[in-house]
Amino acid sequence: MESFVQDEEDEMDEDEDDEEEPEDVGENSVLRSCFLQMVDTLSQQAPSSISQVRLLVSELRRITVLWDELWLGCLSQHQHDVARRLYQLEVEQKKLQENSTLDELTKVKLMRQKSNIVMKPVVIVLEQLARLTSVPAETPHEKQFQAAHMDHIAKALEALKNPPLAGELKPQQCWQKFKSLHAELLRQSQKRVFQTLKLPEISPQLAGMKNSAITMPGLSQPMVTIAGIENSVSILPTKTRPKKLAMLGSDGKYYVYLFKGMDISI
């Protein structure tokens, strides 16, 4: 009886949450609409300044989480979940092997179906990330990443989505290519301790930004604008791999900023 009452209360709480969600969505929609209208108005009044700000924001996002860091973060984040799913498949496989009423071909087909179902959420995430990093590269760093890893990623996805057609399915083996990719990216990341990257390699657009009309972020003096960006970008040796970037102001002074983006999940 107590459990039934608790279930009733939980359902009521869920209903209340559901009732609040449309209001939240509506409020967010109104705020987004107002924001877009404001940007549109500013674009008409100062098209050059807005264009430069958009470029700055886009390129800062690009260098804050590089493609290799994006893949490393994703694989690390899902490592525990993948291990749990692989263990689940091994348990299912053991049950099928002990079933004497099924022939070997049927067991293989059933196991392949179970693998596709259990690993589907992981496959969806990895496919999304693969599409994101398969677009035409815009920087030398992105070109280098694609040349070094995209072929391996494509083969790893194929092995995960389409297990071998013959013989016993080995769940751990289906993930082995991604496990190797994770190990390689981790090794590269560890070599980057206190590493300095060259801005033209990771963002030629920022490297070429000179005498912009963009106000220096965080300053109370609105007349100080970004005159240029230092060519060296430092990577701090912490979990989120933040980037330290120095911007030259129109007043001749350098202003240092720290950009952290590895909290973003895919």
pLDDT at residue 18 greater than cutoff 60:
no
| Domain end call among 154, 173, 191 | 191
Q: How many CB atoms lie within 10 A of CB 229?
A: 24
pLDDT in tens, 114-146: 888 999 999 999 999 999 999 999 999 999 999
Q: Are 124 and 175 found together in one domain?
A: yes
Domain assignment present for residue 226? The answer is no
Cβ pair 171, 90 in contact under 8 A: yes
Across 69-204, where does the E strand assignment appear?
196-198
Give the whole-angstrom CA distance, residue 30 versus residue 41.
17
Domain assignment present for residue 244? The answer is no
Q: Are 84 and 187 found together in one domain?
A: yes
pLDDT in tens, 212-245: 988 898 887 668 999 999 999 988 877 777 889 9
Domain assignment present for residue 179? The answer is yes
Give the number of domains in the chain: 2
Domain assignment present for residue 39? The answer is yes
Q: Are 184 and 136 found together in one domain?
A: yes
Which range of residues forms the domain containing residue 93?
78-191
Predicted TM-score of the model (pTM): 0.76
Give the whole-angstrom CA distance, residue 89 versus residue 100.
19
